[in-house]
Chain A
Amino acid sequence: MTDETALPDTSPEPPRETAVDLRREMADSGVQDILDQLDRDLIGLKPVKQRLREIAALLVVEKARQRLGLAHDTPTLHMSFTGNPGTGKTTVAMRMASILHGLGYIRRDHVVTATRDDLVGQYIGHTAPKTKEILKKAMGGVLFIDEAYYLYRPENERDYGQEAIEILLQVMENQRDDLVVILAGYGDRMDKFFASNPGFRSRIAHHIDFPDYGEEELFAIARHMLDDMNYHLTPAAETALAEYIALRRAQPHFANARSLRNALDRARLRQAKRIFETAQGPVDADALSAIDAADIRASRVFSGGLDAQPSSGDRP
């Protein structure tokens, strides 16, 4: 036993390198593939992709620093996603686990989604075990708290949400290696939430704002959605959809990609009805997957919008 203690404890490490080829590191780690795939799958969202690229670079650099024997520290990766409805906050959060797992930052590829109901209890002494249970479930991966501002209810000073927040903050601080917490919500309400919980703001390293989509981006998203569902637009329908997007964006209750998805769902309904009414004899796959201009132009958006009666599909 005494022999072992006499040895310096650095002995099992191989001799240190003196230089690291960062580009090769990046390629070897497979990070570039993950980022490229993200570029392909998600349209727009420049600030989000930019931030992810920075995080990826930081993780690679940290690994390189570790190998060169420089001081290194696991970075804080708690994030807050803010933005208008339908800008992709939930979609990105759901993918974040696989991205961070691919980057080698978290140990397992899972997302646990929680809302106020999962974290806050109904009576005294109920909240702490409930919150801890969710935190334990999420450990090793990502905890995604959607509409985080509901945790804090200032109008009720005996609300148990505060207790959940305190436990959350403690774990976010002490177990940064075990858990990445992502908060998401609409911008203005998240700002209010952070203003009343300053501890939260400072413990979150990455505040990412999801911008609204431009018209071309929305069009590309619509294409992407239709591709996934094995539909395609006729040339006339493409023009109609472009006009639809321009009109819809100016109308109230516009929820970006979510509105678009609802619009496409309704177009599919109309297409199905049209095929039933017009088809003579058997129909082929092309007819079943083609969305025509009429399917889109039948929308209320072209006849003045949703002001008269709110659409059931869109959020208020």
Chain B
Amino acid sequence: MRVTQGTFSFLPDLTDEQITKQVQYCIDNGWAVSLEFTDDPHPRNTYWDMWGHPMFDNPDAAALMTELAACRKAYGDRYIRVVAFDATHGWESVKLSFIVNRPTDEPGFRLNRMEMEGRKMRYATFPYSADRPAGQRYQ
């Protein structure tokens, strides 16, 4: 099951050329781009691991693409996303984030139902991949 988090996630995967253009758009808007990766695709997992530093002073997208190539080399079996952070006073938050790399096999999510008192029902989602220990999930 294809994970749909962040912008463009309902589109086919972006090509490197398209990623470059999106990243350049972010930089031209004055946002600092950075890369994050994870192997826990749960939608509420907002804290991904950071790859390198946020790039506050790189005027060209090629810098991020270099880092992306390095990140793919190390963690190509995981999810990688580009995060564009707007440091403007009053915003200070992520303006755009999109997935640029995903595992070849995305097993999807299991829905757990828990019967509570009365006819109440509690639901929980678990990524199947999270059954395995972190770091070995998409090998």
Contacts and interface: CB of A to CB of B under 8 A. Distances in A.
Contacts of B92: none
B7 interface: no
A178 B59 CA distance: 12
Interface string A132-164: 100111011100000000000000000000000
Interface in B20-45: none
A234 interface: no
A223 interface: no
B115 interface: no
A141 B59 contact: yes
A175 interface: yes
> Chain B, interface size: which category?
10 to 19
A135 B57 CA distance: 12
B66 A140 contact: no
B57 to A, nearest CB: 6
Among B57, B58, B59, the most chain A Cβ lie within 10 Å of the Cβ of B59
Contacts of A135: 63, 66
A137 B66 contact: no
A201 to B, nearest CB: 25
Secondary structure type dominating chain A contacts: loop
A63 interface: no
B62 A137 contact: no
Contacts of B59: 108, 110, 137, 139-141
Interface in B52-72: 55, 57-63, 66-67
A137 B66 CA distance: 12
Contacts of B63: 135-137, 139
A266 interface: no
B60 A107 contact: yes
Contact of B58 (A139, A175, A177): A139
Interface residues of A, number: 15
Contacts of B66: 132, 135-136, 139, 171, 175, 178
A178 B62 contact: yes
A141 B61 CA distance: 11
B62 A175 contact: yes
Contacts of B58: 136-137, 139
A35 to B, nearest CB: 26
A110 B62 CA distance: 14
Interface in A98-152: 107-108, 110, 132, 135-137, 139-141
Contacts of A178: 60, 62, 66
A175 B62 CA distance: 9
Contacts of A171: 66
A262 B63 CA distance: 40
Among A135, A136, A179, the most chain B Cβ lie within 10 Å of the Cβ of A136
Contacts of A177: 62
Contacts of A140: 59-62
A139 B58 CA distance: 8
Among A135, A140, A141, A175, the most chain B Cβ lie within 10 Å of the Cβ of A140
A55 B59 CA distance: 25
Contacts of A132: 66
Contacts of B55: 136
A132 B53 CA distance: 12
A107 B55 CA distance: 18
A161 to B, nearest CB: 22
B49 to A, nearest CB: 17
B45 to A, nearest CB: 28
Among B57, B58, B60, B61, the most chain A Cβ lie within 10 Å of the Cβ of B60
8 contacts: A107-B60, A135-B66, A136-B62, A137-B58, A140-B60, A141-B59, A141-B60, A177-B62
Closest 8 CB pairs of A and B: A140-B60, A136-B63, A178-B62, A139-B62, A139-B60, A139-B63, A136-B58, A137-B58
Given A136-B66, A141-B59, 15 more contacts: A107-B60, A108-B60, A110-B59, A135-B63, A136-B55, A136-B63, A139-B60, A139-B63, A140-B61, A141-B60, A171-B66, A175-B62, A177-B62, A178-B66, A179-B62
Interface of A: 107-108, 110, 132, 135-137, 139-141, 171, 175, 177-179
